[in-house]
Copies of this chain bind each other. A is one copy, B any other.
Amino acid sequence: MSHNVYTHRVLPQETDFKEQITLSALGSLFLNTAGEDALRNHFGPDDLLKMGCGWVVSRFAMEVSKYPKMYDCLKVETWIEDFGVMFTGRNFRLLDDKDKEIGLACTQWAVIDINTRRPVNLSRFADWQKFATGESNGMEKPRKLQEMDCPVIFSHRVRYSDLDFNRHTNSMKYAEWMVDAVPFEQLESSRIRRFDINYLREARYGQQVDVCLLNSLDLSCFELRDENGKALCRSAIEWVTE
């Protein structure tokens, strides 16, 4: 019922030209921590797989006040806030090696049937309710992002190195492509204050993905689209000048 804490040391390949952790590496850290904590509580990916089910993240948001550097030691505190009918909310706090809070994150998860890829009603897992603490971490919940008219910046064909063990695109690869679409000068002069992402459809091997962006110096709004123009995911980045 309590909060659990996990540690991580930032690896060189997780950092960018500023020697700071990248958005996708930080996002992976939160998602991996969710996986590890679920594993510890006996509802990890492997436990669900035995029931023909799997976790999918539907929304994710994070706010970061200070970006860790290469070899920094981090702590991630995590707990479940609630279990609804379709979704469960998991919260995070990111601490530096002096236990100072440097970031927050909220995730919203669904359970899907791995054959039909359709959501499963969470009432099926009534014994999980005991893990819900009802506690927020104080940040605004992941926002629902609206459909947008935005131009294609580049296209990417899904490759072997984009795939996870489910043979779908790794959740944080979408975020990686989005940041890659931002002008380099903006990446040099600004940092990400808040990031929101909504996952809608999965991108598979060989599929072409259009990375679309409506950009300003304060706010970048992204949409990833498949060959038919259907949205795969949407995200928004709020920037602050460094």
Contacts and interface: CB of A to CB of B under 8 A. Distances in A.
A91 to B, nearest CB: 20
Given A11-B28, A172-B13, A161 B179 contact: yes
Interface residues of A, number: 35
A52 interface: no
A125 interface: no
Interface string A205-227: 11000000000000000000000
A164 B12 contact: yes
A179 to B, nearest CB: 6
Q: Is the interface of A mostly helix, strand, loop or mixed?
A: mixed
Nearest to A165: B19
Interface in A134-165: 154, 157, 159-161, 163-165
A232 to B, nearest CB: 18
B154 A17 contact: no
Given A70-B165, A157-B154, A159-B180, A28 B16 contact: no
A75 to B, nearest CB: 16
Interface string A168-212: 001010001001101010010000000000000000011000000
Interface of A: 11-13, 15-19, 22, 24, 28, 31-32, 35, 70, 154, 157, 159-161, 163-167, 170, 172, 176, 179-180, 182, 184, 187, 205-206
